[in-house]
Amino acid sequence: MSVVLTEQGEGATAVVASLAGWRPEHVRVELLVMDGDGDPGRPVLREQLAEGGRPWRPIARPLGGRAASLAAAACAAENEFILIGTRGCPAFPLVEPALSWMWAEGADVALIAEGAVDPADGSEDSDPSRTVARWLGLSGTVPDGRSVLMRRWVARWLFNEITRAISPGEEVADRARLLGIGIVQLTSHPSDTPLRH
């Protein structure tokens, strides 16, 4: 699995720190780090990554914002799955159950949330494809602790030449609908059951 780190500064170091405590037994994890010369806290982050003992690769931060960064990460990923978090730390303990649920349901994307997901908070939508685009950080605001786990081929298809789109979020949602991908959603809230779209 390739874990994509697009954050900078303190946000990036927090994600790396939380990743250090996550050692899944059956998943090989590589960290893809968006890296720019002007990133705040870059030397501290690089030192933290070196001390972490986990494989990581820098990916030059391209011009074009988050959409360009996600496209570059999808192209650089060598593993079958890609995990993309938005603000805050991803819910790493839910990744292995999400992989199992994807396998059982034949899904290509898993939406993973820390805590309960409240449709009334404005972050959810009746259209799961639009929710994928939102949770990727390409449209609207996203609450902390949201992540998207997807197969590499799906990520490459969704992000191919995405910077040419007028609205990357709408384009990703349209491509997800066109592709007809299976989407599951897991939360860490005990009363929530996994959803399939």
The string of pLDDT tens digits covering residues 19-65 is: 888 888 888 899 999 988 888 888 888 899 988 888 999 999 998 89
Which range has the worst mean pLDDT, 8-12, 146-150, 169-173?
8-12
Please count the structural domains in the chain: 1
The parent domain of residue 86 ranges over 2-196
> What pTM does this model have?
0.88
What mean pLDDT is predicted for residues 157-171? Answer: 95
> Can you give the CATH number for the domain in which 39 is found?
3.90.550.10
Alpha helices in the chain (DSSP H): 9-20, 42-52, 65-76, 95-105, 128-135, 152-159, 168-179
The string of pLDDT tens digits covering residues 120-134 is: 444 455 789 999 999
With contact defined as beta carbons under 8 Å apart, do 92 and 19 qualify? yes
